[in-house]
Every structure is written in C-alpha cells, then in structure tokens.
Amino acid sequence: MSTKKPHTRLSVNINKIATLRNARGENRPSVEQVAADCQRFGAEGITVHPRPDERHIRRADVFNLRPLVGVEFNIEGYPSPEFMDLVLKVRPEQVTLVPDAADALTSSAGWDVEANMEFLTSIVERLKGAGIRSSIFVGTDTANIKAAAATGTDRVELYTKPYADLYPKDPAAAVAPYVEASRAAHNLGLGINAGHDLDLNNLAYFRRALPWLHEVSIGHALICDALYLGLEETVRRYKECLTETEN
C-alpha cells in the first residue's frame, strides 16, 4: 500500500445553522445559503445529521440540500428504518452510521461493532447496493476497527473527543491511539475519517500525526469560530490546518 498521505477534505457540519434557524421558526439563517457559501469558500463536503425529533436539520432540509450540494454530501445518523428510507431516497455520496439514541444530545461514543455485526453488515450491504459509501463511527480500539472492516464498510470515522480533551495537557499522548487506529484501518483497506471537538487549536497537530486521514467533519467549533472570524475566513483557516503539512 502507498504510504503517501491523502489530501484531507474538510466537511462542514451545518446542524448548528439549523438550530439557530429553528429558534425563530422562520428561514433565517438559511441552511441552503450557508451550504452554498461553505462550498464557495472552499469546503469539500457538507455534513448533516437529521435526528428523529428534527431539532436541527429536518428531513425537508435534506431533500432541499441534495441538488444544491456540489461537493460530497455526508449524512450522519442512526440507521433506523426512517433514516434508511431518507438516505436511500436522497443518495448522498456518504452515510456515516452512528449509534446514537434518538434523544442523544450529540454523538458521544462509537459502535461496539462486534455486538452489532449482523445489523451493521446488513446496513452496509444496503448502502453499497445503492452506490453509497459507508462509514462506521468508532473509537480507537483496533479489534473493533477490525470488526468494522468485516462488515464491508468503506471507511471508519474516528471519534475524536478523547483526543480533544487530552490535547491541552499532552498532545503526544492524546494522538497516539489515533495514529495506531489509523494505521490499523489503513492496513485493513479502510478509509479514515475523523470528527468531534476538532478545532483550530488541535486540528493541525492531529492532521500531521495521522499517517492517513481522508476527511474531517467539523460543525460546532467551526460555526462558533465563524461568529467572530466570519464564515469565509473560518473555512480558510480550517483548510489551512489540513493542507499546511501535506507532502
């Protein structure tokens, strides 16, 4: 296998834009306009996570965004019958499977793949049959990543909150499990995505350390930064974190 690092794509999660919009019940800010602007400013993906209660992204948003997203469209969610019906109709480039309960505030853990092997394998097969890339949200346990590969998934997404929490105290220790996990995934033929609490302070270090990293999905931190820096400058800075070390 090649040891050259892939270009790491930035996918902007626009859920928080929908949260702000929903607070007033109108269409301001517009998730469609923000998605278009993110693409114009250089984002290489748009991510949404429609939850059953539609507290941020709604099913209607997903359908409205599909013709407007000219970059990679990534839909995250728990693969319930309703979620699968949505993604098979919309057919995004990628679906990221997360184990969240319906009322979860945010994604807080990866799958125990072995315990859900039959279920996840059947979901991955359905996505593959529809020509949709699949990614399974996991922690850094390499045995769990090996189980993920056995489902037939295309990629794994590494849950990076533990990295973000430890980074201020000990960056090397924080990133070490992710380096090992990314190598294991690469050796199994999997692509590697990452997300959760990555920001302008810790992203560049994470990108430099990982041997292979195809994509990061960032929402909350990026939207918070955009309040101060503006959306265009924020996207530029996040992309700079991902490209300054490429070889």
DSSP assignment letter at 115:
G
Q: What is d(CA 163, CA 177) in angstroms, rounded to the nearest whole number?
A: 9
- Respond yes or no: is residue 114 known to be catalytic: no
Token pair belonging to 15: 């859920």
- Please tell me which residue in 56, 76, 157, 186 is annotated as part of the active site: 76
Question: How far from the centroid of its chain's Cα atoms is residue 214's Cα?
Answer: 11
Q: At a CB cut-off of 8 Å and minimum separation 6, what does 54 contact?
A: none
- Please tell me which residue in 56, 186, 196, 214 is annotated as part of the active site: 196
Q: How many CA atoms does the CB half-sphere of 197 hold within 13 Å?
A: 15
Token pair belonging to 179: 């380096």
Phi and psi, residue 190, nearest 5°: -95, 145
Q: Nearest Cα to 74, choosing from 45, 51, 106, 35?
A: 45
- Please tell me which residue in 49, 56, 186, 214 is annotated as part of the active site: 49
Pairing of strands 9-13, 191-195: unpaired
- Respond yes or no: is residue 56 known to be catalytic: no
Q: What is d(CA 187, CA 175) in angstroms, rounded to the nearest whole number?
A: 19
* Strand, coil or helix: 113: coil
- Respond yes or no: is residue 186 known to be catalytic: no
Any idea which residue has 């072995």 for tokens?
114
Catalytic residues: 49, 76, 196
